[in-house]
Amino acid sequence: MKLANRVGMNKVDRAALGGEPIGQRVVLLNEHAVPIGSADKLMVHNTSTALHLAFSCYLFDQSGRVLVTRRALSKVTWPGVWTNSFCGHPEPGEALEAAVERRARQELGVEVRGVRVVDPGFRYRAVDAGGIVENEVCPVYTATISGTLSPHPEEVMEWAWVDRSSLARAVMSTPFVFSPWMVLQMRRLQWASEPDPTGPESVFPGAVRT
């Protein structure tokens, strides 16, 4: 799996155009995944992070390759780790599909289409090396790219388009290179023998193993 493209920090100043806005609020959940309130995103992520709503998205190109990104070193959690295309948090009252589209623009500078949920019930808890906890109900989505990537340097330091079989092998053989949520998601999703993910009848990775 070739991981090559690096974001140029001084190519363009996008600090005012991308990234998650200061003061963004996340949706807090109870153990039944029912919303119970909201909290500031920067305040909620700590050593005892409350359960909250998020999402992950795997972005495909017209050749059926999947985008993987390397988290910027400035990220609070799992800096420098390879992960799925992008993640984010819906704001209170915001539909998840709309949040996926918004976050693609903020983090990757790109429009997406064909947003669909492929694992609505994914939930995980993980602790990074600094003791910060992620504790999320995190539905998994796929989408296809529309336009040219222009990742925000405060979010993404490198990226690559890879075929799904190579990515699956890499995650299986070196899971420590990837984010814990991505490793768990790929164990649940069917990553082989599905049709072209850009096709209208695609089910990749559109079914969770049961």
Peptide bond into 21 cis (omega under 30): no
Residue 152 annotated as part of some ligand binding site = no
Residue that has been written with the tokens 């693609």 in this structure: 104
Residue 204 and residue 109 in contact, taking contact as beta carbons nearer than 8 Å:
no
- Angle CA(166)–CA(99)–CA(177) in degrees, nearest 5? 30
Of the residues 20, 57, 91, 136, which is catalytic? 136
Alpha carbons 68 and 170: distance in angstroms, whole number: 12
H-assigned helices in the chain: 41-44, 96-103, 164-173, 180-188
Of the residues 20, 87, 154, 155, which is catalytic? 87
Residue 136 annotated as part of some ligand binding site = yes
- Residue 57 annotated to the active site: no
Residue 134 annotated as part of some ligand binding site = yes
- Residue 136 annotated to the active site: yes
Residue 203 and residue 194 in contact, taking contact as beta carbons nearer than 8 Å:
yes
Radius of gyration of the chain (CA): 16
Alpha carbons 53 and 32: distance in angstroms, whole number: 12
Residue 89 annotated as part of some ligand binding site = yes
Residue ranges at the known binding site for Mn(2+): 45, 52, 89, 134, 136
Hey, which residues are catalytic here? 87, 136
Q: Extract the annotated binding site for Mg(2+).
A: 107
